[in-house]
Amino acid sequence: MRTLSPGVTQRLLLRDDREARTELLLRLLYSKSSADLVADALKDPSGKVCETTLSVLATVDFHALSVERAARLRNLKRHLQRTCPPLWECLDKETITPLVDAYADSDAFWQSAGRTLFENFCLFAHEAVAERSRLLADVFHLFGLVSRFSAPELIAPPEDVCACTTGIPGEGMDLTKAAFSPWDDGGLVPPDVPGALQAESFPSAWRLVDDRGRLPRSLEPDALGEPGEYQIVVAAFPGRKVSAAALPL
Amino acid sequence: MTNEKTNSVGRLGFGLDWQYRDNYPQKMPDLCAKYAGRLSHLSCVSLPSAADARTFMDECAGDLPVVHHLPGVAPAAPGGPNLELFTRLEAVSDVLGAVWTCEDIGLWSIGPYPLPYFTPPLFEREVADHVVDGIRRMREVSRYPFVPEIPSCTLAAGRMSLGEFFHRVTDGADCDLLLDVAHVFSYAVAVRRSYEDVLRSLPLERVVEIHVAGGYIDPTFDNRYLDTHSHAVTPAVIDLLQEAVANAPRLRAVTYEIGVGLGAEELDSDFERIEGLLAEADWTPTIARPSDLATAGTA
């Protein structure tokens, strides 16, 4: 699992500019590793922290910060869950919660590999679970691709935070133009899907989507269909419609 | 409460979120119709397009003046305001005939991703100056005055106080200010200062709009105020509203921001409470649709 490289936070502590101090603030709000590293540096700041940054960080109440960070992680989980409820139906809390926590505390959180925050999370989770469960990795691959082609996320705030800080979705991916995909296609070329603007695929030992193209809502064997070798295809159509299918290989 | 009680003077407006238009105690058009005659204006956030703005005007606002609450243009963002988004949203302001645009000053994204919840900026001089620069750049491409809003603060960091920061922003940009009294309360709670003192530290002479909304203090951590818009307005926030109205000589509009979790009775009760407070203060809004707009770049 990709974790947070301490080097970035260390470099931010040494830089003497507004952007670095702002990024440090954001990292403190989401990353426990960054916060711990900063707290340690403040105990013995000589040569580790720029003087101005040191005096700015001295204004941070680290106990309040830990409460704030816990609240933000809860908000992040709820945001991801509302973006794609079926994924949460597939996975139990014990599986998904540590993955979201690890995502917020990883370099991946700060690097935009996916088109959306949800796809970015799926990319992280796909890689994080790949060694222990191919099934989970494939599930994250499937949901990540669906998110990639879907309408942009609505950024409505969770219920227990300031509702006047709601956002607006971006333009989303221009599906008429080819774009580099961060997903591994497993060497498979997606079939020609009539009417589709784009399609991506990957091999899986599980069917994952049923005859009607419905996404899994459980990882029970009955819900996943017959085991075998499949090419999972996700295709984007005009109007932000997304379709998925499992083709036997 | 009937319209007769307030002599049909609309003293306050609603602050609404277009994303939740079907999730209020009533659908947005029905809600606006229910309070017709008691509303001075509407403020709306998250209108994504001119077409949505047209629907909003036709179904909700009618002849009421409208404030366009922007959704993440973010002059405080490290790279400055998102002028692509801002320019795109000018078409929304055009349809609304916006009296002004506004937005909470804060950080709205991590890289290209909107944050699930925004963050107040570092209260530092260099950040205030950066916000000033951002507001100036926004002014160059818009025909509508931009009014920065004091953000909600569940955590405050930086060597300036909220008051010092917003004096520097509004003086530097020579702009008006949107005072959210619940946000003022959240800051006071976070830094454990008297909320009256925090209010008095702000540039009240620049305030043209006040936001008020419900929320509550986190029961597990008492220096964290949650500005939910979905709970009753706390008495301290009502106190702040009363004092702010009395001390903001250029105040033109009071906006009651409502959330989707608010029940119809709570909404009505708080609307009446705010309406009564404004009537008692003998304060009336002076907000109207602009009769014409300056050419882009000269506003």
Using an 8 Å Cβ cutoff, are B209 and B68 in contact?
no
Average pLDDT, chain A: 87
Q: How many CB atoms lie within 10 A of CB B186?
A: 31
Cβ–Cβ below 8 Å for A21 and B113: no
3-state secondary structure of A136: helix
Per-residue pLDDT at A148: 86
Structural domain containing residue B150 = 3-280
Cβ–Cβ below 8 Å for B121 and A64: no
Note whether A40 contacts B: Cβ–Cβ < 8 A.
no
Helices (H), chain B: 28-34, 50-56, 83-96, 125-141, 162-173, 181-191, 195-200, 235-247, 264-280
> Does A73 reside within a domain?
yes
Residue B111, pLDDT above cutoff 80: no
> Does B299 reside within a domain?
no
Share of chain A above pLDDT 90, in %: 57
pLDDT by residue (tens digit) across B230-261? 999 999 999 999 999 999 999 999 999 999 88
Q: What is the mean pLDDT of residues A6-22?
A: 94
Per-residue pLDDT at A6: 82
Residues A83 and A167 in one domain: yes
> Does B211 reside within a domain?
yes
Per-residue pLDDT at A153: 53
pLDDT by residue (tens digit) across A213-234? 888 888 888 778 778 999 999 9
Share of chain A above pLDDT 70, in %: 88
Residues A120 and A35 in one domain: no
Q: What secondary structure does DSSP assign to B172-236, as a single string?
A: HHT--EEEEHHHHHHHHHHHT--HHHHHHTS-GGGEEEEEE---EE-TT-TT-EE--SSSPPPHH
Residues A124 and A153 in one domain: yes
Per-residue pLDDT at A216: 86
Distance from CA of B182 to the nearest CA of A (A): 10
Note whether B234 contacts A: Cβ–Cβ < 8 A.
no
pLDDT by residue (tens digit) across B173-231? 999 999 999 999 999 999 999 999 999 999 999 999 999 999 999 999 999 999 999 99
Contacts of B91 in chain A (CB under 8 A): none
Residue B154, pLDDT above cutoff 50: yes
The CA distance from B145 to B229, in Å, is 26
Q: In this predicted model, which residue has the larger pLDDT, B127 or A146? A: B127
- Return the number of CB contacts < 8 Å for A and B: 159
Residues A115 and A139 in one domain: yes
Contacts of A64 in chain B (CB under 8 A): 155, 190, 221, 223-224
Residues A48 and A76 in one domain: no
The DSSP bridge pattern shows strands B216-217 and B225-226 to be antiparallel
Structural domain containing residue A35 = 6-60
The CA distance from B228 to B214, in Å, is 6
Note whether A157 contacts B: Cβ–Cβ < 8 A.
yes
Q: Which of A64, A158, A164 sits opposite B116 (nearest CB)?
A: A158
Distance from CA of A189 to the nearest CA of B (A): 29
Residues A130 and A188 in one domain: yes
Torsion of CA B180, B145, B42, B187, to 10 degrees: -10
Angle at A87 between CA B22 and CA A128, to 5 degrees: 135
Surface of B (60-79) touching A: CB under 8 A: 69, 71-72, 78
Residues A99 and A180 in one domain: yes
pLDDT by residue (tens digit) across B37-94? 999 999 999 998 999 999 999 999 999 999 999 988 999 999 999 999 999 999 999 9
Contacts of A105 in chain B (CB under 8 A): none
Closest to B10 measured CA to CA, from B271, B289, B291: B271
Residue A4, pLDDT above cutoff 70: yes
Which of the residues B110, B217, B222 would you substitute to probe the A interface, choosing the one with the greatest number of A C-beta atoms within 10 Å? B110
> Does A109 reside within a domain?
yes
Contacts of B211 in chain A (CB under 8 A): 164
| Residue B189: closest C-alpha in chain A | A64
> Does A16 reside within a domain?
yes
Q: Which of A21, A68, A160 sits opposite B155 (nearest CB)?
A: A68
Contacts of A161 in chain B (CB under 8 A): 117, 152, 154, 226-228
The CA distance from A177 to A122, in Å, is 22
The CA distance from B122 to B119, in Å, is 9
Residue B33, Cβ density class (10 Å: 0-12 exposed, 13-18 middle, ≥19 buried) = middle
Q: In this predicted model, which residue has the larger pLDDT, A39 or A156? A: A39
Using an 8 Å Cβ cutoff, are B9 and B285 in contact?
no
Residue A155, pLDDT above cutoff 60: no
pLDDT by residue (tens digit) across A54-111? 999 999 999 999 999 999 999 899 888 888 888 998 999 999 999 999 999 999 998 8
Per-residue pLDDT at B171: 98
Quickly tell me which residue has 């009564």 as its tokens. Answer: B276
Contacts of B106 in chain A (CB under 8 A): 165
The CA distance from B183 to B176, in Å, is 17
Residue B103, pLDDT above cutoff 70: yes
The CA distance from A147 to A145, in Å, is 5
> Does B268 reside within a domain?
yes
Distance from CA of B97 to the nearest CA of A (A): 20
| Residue A155: closest C-alpha in chain B | B116
ipTM passes above 0.85: yes
> Does A1 reside within a domain?
no
Distance from CA of B90 to the nearest CA of A (A): 14
* Residues 6+ away with beta carbon under 8 Å from B223: A64, B189, B190, B191, B192
The CA distance from A115 to A148, in Å, is 6
Surface of B (107-146) touching A: CB under 8 A: 107-108, 110-119, 121-122, 124, 126-127, 130
Q: What is the mean pLDDT of residues B100-125?
A: 88
Q: How confident is the model at residue B292 (pLDDT cuts 50, 70, 90)?
A: low
Per-residue pLDDT at A152: 62
Residues A126 and A236 in one domain: yes
**CATH code for position B34:** 3.20.20.150
Q: How confident is the model at residue B289 (pLDDT cuts 50, 70, 90)?
A: confident
Total domains in chain A come to: 2
Contacts of B71 in chain A (CB under 8 A): 155, 166-168
Residues A141 and A47 in one domain: no
Q: What is the mean pLDDT of residues A29-56?
A: 93
The CA distance from B287 to B289, in Å, is 7
Per-residue pLDDT at B97: 97
Q: In this predicted model, which residue has the larger pLDDT, B147 or A76? A: B147
Quickly tell me which residue has 């009505």 as its tokens. Answer: B268
CA B71 to chain centre: 11
Residues A52 and A77 in one domain: no
Average pLDDT, chain B: 92
Cβ–Cβ below 8 Å for B227 and A26: no
3-state secondary structure of B86: helix
Using an 8 Å Cβ cutoff, are A53 and A21 in contact?
yes
Contacts of B149 in chain A (CB under 8 A): 164
Note whether A249 contacts B: Cβ–Cβ < 8 A.
no
Distance from CA of A217 to the nearest CA of B (A): 24
Which of the residues A121, A168, A171 would you substitute to probe the B interface, choosing the one with the greatest number of B C-beta atoms within 10 Å? A168
> Does B159 reside within a domain?
yes
Q: How confident is the model at residue B118 (pLDDT cuts 50, 70, 90)?
A: confident
Domain boundary residue among A44, A60, A76? A60
> Does A213 reside within a domain?
yes
3-state secondary structure of A155: coil
